[in-house]
Amino acid sequence: MDRYEAEAFDVAVIGAGHAGIEAGLAAARLGCRTAVFTINLDSVGNCPCNPSIGGTAKGHLVREIDALGGEMGKTADACFIQSRMLNRGKGPAVHSLRAQIDRLAYSRMMKHKLELQPHLFLKQAEVISLERDGDAWRLVTRFGASHRCKTVVIATGTYLGGKIFVGETSYDGGPDGMFPAAFLGASLKKLGIRLRRFKTGTPARVLRSSIDFSHLEVQPGDDPVVPFSYETEHPGPNRAVCHISWTNDETKRVILENLSRSPLYSGKIEGVGPRYCPSIEDKIVRFAEKPRHQLFLEPCGLETEEIYLQGMSSSLPEDVQLAFYHTIPGLEHAELTRCAYAIEYDCIDPLQLGATLEFTALPGLYGAGQFNGSSGYEEAAAQGLVAGINAAHRVLGRPPFVLDRASSYTGTLIDDLITKGVNDPYRMMTSRSEYRLVLRQDNADERLTPLGREIGLISDERWEKFLKKREAKGRELARARETTLPPSDELNAILVSRETTPVSTGVKLAELLKRPQLSYECLAPVDPGRPDLPPEWFEQVETELKYEGYIRRQQADIAEMRRLEAKKLPPAADYRAIGGLRMEAREKLQRVQPENIGQASRISGVSPADVSVLLIWLAKREGEV
């Protein structure tokens, strides 16, 4: 193939999915000449699996992306058709926002934002080769264009070496009927990058008019609607409902009788699937004792009649899919518009990356999203934002941008990937964070907006709005601690009605709010000095007062973690030569090359005793230096 010298870029992003979008926008907004390459411009911001943004722990990531100046939350707010806050019946640490979106509107809006962004060039071209070019990179497209790029972010999603499976049929392909990225993988292997094979599944879509909704459970949205973005003041109403149905013994029978026709069980699929989002055939086998499995019927948008069957991914043949779907209440006469499929793809071992998502052995090359072994739109977008910022910072000569576990779920996600690696597609969950009471979704702006401002992704207008909120919330915390409510029949009637002890003397408002039975809302009649603030600000103050002791304890744990993070380890250290380390620890440390003692302590196979040996070795080494 003949090459020709094409335009050069500061930052090149390969892929325009959720990771590529955030990476490209961040780099361009920081002033770098940025190109985003995609195989098909009509797939920018596509949601090939579920038509939703957010969910348990994922909603936290979307809020954090927004707090740093990213785009996912704002676009989801503009395109949502139903919004719900999950886990309301549990503590505030696990409350997570999830929104059904109009997937085509979301894609169109994200594409338009990329097109309008100064310094950003959106290009339809398949990247087939990536080569070193001195201290930069040489990126070659299928049409022969050769671009010299100072830094590159790889965000190939499930396109890299993509292969589709439906029963006995398999073929090279990307998600949603797109072409795969067929050539880039070989180029990455030449660079010494370790690739692995993962797989994921996408459920079928069915025609709305073929569904019998009469016996299905309705799942409405929340009122009022809570937006993702701190910039969205009026998100608007819900415009759609979802429905719930269940599989049954007949569904199970049909699937088990045809299990041999599943490529997952016949051995055709080599890739490792997501542990926390298995296919329906996998659920039937792994959870054989369960009499039924839940599925959600979710609209794909306002201008389409397609309904997505959440929880029903499969790689069984199309005729088997029709047979088992028809056993499910409401789907007895369902017509498939798109059958379910599994997709295999290449990704990397993320132990090759550092905390900036840069390859430790390949300066200027970054990875983001499913390319890094994660799953999900939200995990991808969070990584894309961090990778894009760091790619731009390298070009601009600025210091690395690193989020730690105590600052965010984003930091937790990245730290998990680069220290523990992955054996299957990584999914963010609230249980992955040991500091989840501090890392709530409601305070993402307090944690991260100052960092976004420092980087340059937060506008003056938004910064002023943030400062006013922080000041008002601080005043309300002080008022709650200082305000004494006198005993009264009205106050005691409220307390008794809430099954908590009445008072005979004056009591601080803050002390009352610490009682689990009480809230700002129920105490409003006896709190005349309350300022006019948004309900979510009061909810945040109430949470901080109720969980004050637990939050203080987690903050102490965070201080200790950061003390260990401050103890930097030398790059390219020879851990095999350190006496006292167990053999497994030596191998893991040598492979991961942690940046500090804190990271080293979180590597699977490194024990507290090994950490003590490292601390002694580091102290001796620093003394010698």
Q: According to the model, what pLDDT value does residue 122 have? A: 98
Which among 444, 442, 374, 437 has a CA at the least distance from the CA of 403?
Answer: 444
Q: Lowest mean pLDDT: which of 112-116, 251-255, 572-576?
A: 572-576
Q: Is residue 149 part of a domain?
A: yes
Do 216 and 333 share a domain, yes or no? yes
Q: Is residue 595 part of a domain?
A: yes
| Cis geometry, peptide bond prior to residue 594 (ω within 30 degrees of 0) | no
Determine how many CB atoms are found less than 10 A away from the CB of residue 53. 30
List pLDDT tens digits, range 5-44. 999 999 999 999 999 999 999 999 999 999 999 999 999 9
Do 215 and 303 share a domain, yes or no? yes
84, pLDDT greater than 90: yes
Average pLDDT, rounded, for the chain: 95
Q: How far apart are CA 35 and CA 32, in angstroms?
A: 9
Q: Which domain holds residue 497?
A: 481-552
Give the SS3 label for residue 412: helix
Do 450 and 505 share a domain, yes or no? no
Query: Cα–Cα–Cα angle for 603, 605, 609, nearest 5°?
Result: 95
Give the SS3 label for residue 314: coil
Cα atoms in the Cβ-side hemisphere of radius 13 Å centred on 475: 11
Q: According to the model, what pLDDT value does residue 269 have? A: 85
Of the residues 398, 421, 455, the one at which a domain ends: 455
623, pLDDT greater than 90: no
Q: How far apart are CA 307 and CA 3, in angstroms?
A: 45
When pLDDT is averaged across residues 379-398 and rounded to a whole number, the result is: 98
Q: According to the model, what pLDDT value does residue 72 have? A: 98
Q: Quick one: pLDDT band at residue 162, thresholds 50, 70, 90? A: very high
Q: Is residue 463 part of a domain?
A: no
Q: According to the model, what pLDDT value does residue 571 have? A: 87
Of the residues 525, 552, 579, the one at which a domain ends: 552
List pLDDT tens digits, range 166-187. 999 999 999 999 999 999 999 9
298, pLDDT greater than 90: yes
List pLDDT tens digits, range 311-356. 999 999 999 999 999 999 999 999 999 999 999 999 999 999 999 9
Do 193 and 216 share a domain, yes or no? no
Q: Lowest mean pLDDT: which of 297-306, 407-416, 471-480, 567-576?
A: 567-576
DSSP for 417-478 reads: HHHH--SS-B---GGG-TTTTTS-GGGHHHHHHHHHHHHT-S-HHHHHHHHHHHHHHHHHHH
Which among 382, 379, 342 has a CA at the least distance from the CA of 175?
Answer: 342
Do 291 and 380 share a domain, yes or no? no
When pLDDT is averaged across residues 537-557 and rounded to a whole number, the result is: 94
Determine how many CB atoms are found less than 10 A away from the CB of residue 484. 10
Q: Is residue 424 part of a domain?
A: yes
Q: Is residue 474 part of a domain?
A: no
Do 175 and 223 share a domain, yes or no? no
Non-local (6+) Cβ contacts of 188 within 8 A are 130, 154, 195, 348
Do 37 and 141 share a domain, yes or no? yes
Q: Give a three-class secondary structure readout of 235-292.
A: CCCCCCCEEEEECCHHHHHHHHHCHHHCHHHHCCCCCECCCCCCCHHHHHHHCCCCCC
Cα atoms in the Cβ-side hemisphere of radius 13 Å centred on 166: 18
List pLDDT tens digits, range 465-512. 999 999 999 999 999 999 999 999 999 999 999 999 999 999 999 999
CATH code of the domain containing 598: 1.10.150.570
List pLDDT tens digits, range 456-476. 999 999 999 999 999 999 999
Q: According to the model, what pLDDT value does residue 113 have? A: 98
Q: According to the model, what pLDDT value does residue 3 have? A: 93
Q: According to the model, what pLDDT value does residue 330 have? A: 97
Q: According to the model, what pLDDT value does residue 624 have? A: 64
94, pLDDT greater than 90: yes
273, pLDDT greater than 90: no
Do 90 and 186 share a domain, yes or no? yes
**What's the domain count of the chain?**
4
Q: How far apart are CA 371 and CA 198, in angstroms?
A: 10
Q: Is residue 470 part of a domain?
A: no
Give the SS3 label for residue 194: coil
Q: According to the model, what pLDDT value does residue 278 have? A: 85
CATH code of the domain containing 508: 1.10.10.1800
Do 170 and 235 share a domain, yes or no? no
Are 356 and 401 spatial neighbours (Cβ–Cβ below 8 Å)?
A: yes
Do 129 and 67 share a domain, yes or no? yes
When pLDDT is averaged across residues 367-393 and rounded to a whole number, the result is: 97
The secondary element (H helix, E strand) that includes residue 129 is: strand 127-133
Whether pTM > 0.75 for this model: the answer is yes
Cα atoms in the Cβ-side hemisphere of radius 13 Å centred on 496: 10
Of the residues 343, 376, 399, the one at which a domain ends: 343
Q: According to the model, what pLDDT value does residue 266 have? A: 80
CATH code of the domain containing 435: 3.50.50.60
Q: According to the model, what pLDDT value does residue 79 have? A: 97
List pLDDT tens digits, range 41-81. 999 999 999 999 999 999 999 999 999 999 999 999 999 99
Do 493 and 534 share a domain, yes or no? yes
- Comparing 396 with 598, the larger pLDDT belongs to 396
Do 188 and 227 share a domain, yes or no? no
Non-local (6+) Cβ contacts of 271 within 8 A are 197, 198, 199, 344, 345
Q: Is residue 466 part of a domain?
A: no
Q: Is residue 467 part of a domain?
A: no
DSSP for 158-191 reads: T-BT-EEEETTEEEE--GGGPPPB-SHHHHHHHT
Q: According to the model, what pLDDT value does residue 16 have? A: 98
Q: Return the exposure string of 360-381: e unless at least 16 CB atoms fall within 10 Å of the residue's CB, then b.
A: bebebbbbbbbbbbbbbbbbbb
Q: Which two tokens stand for residue 490?
A: 């009205």
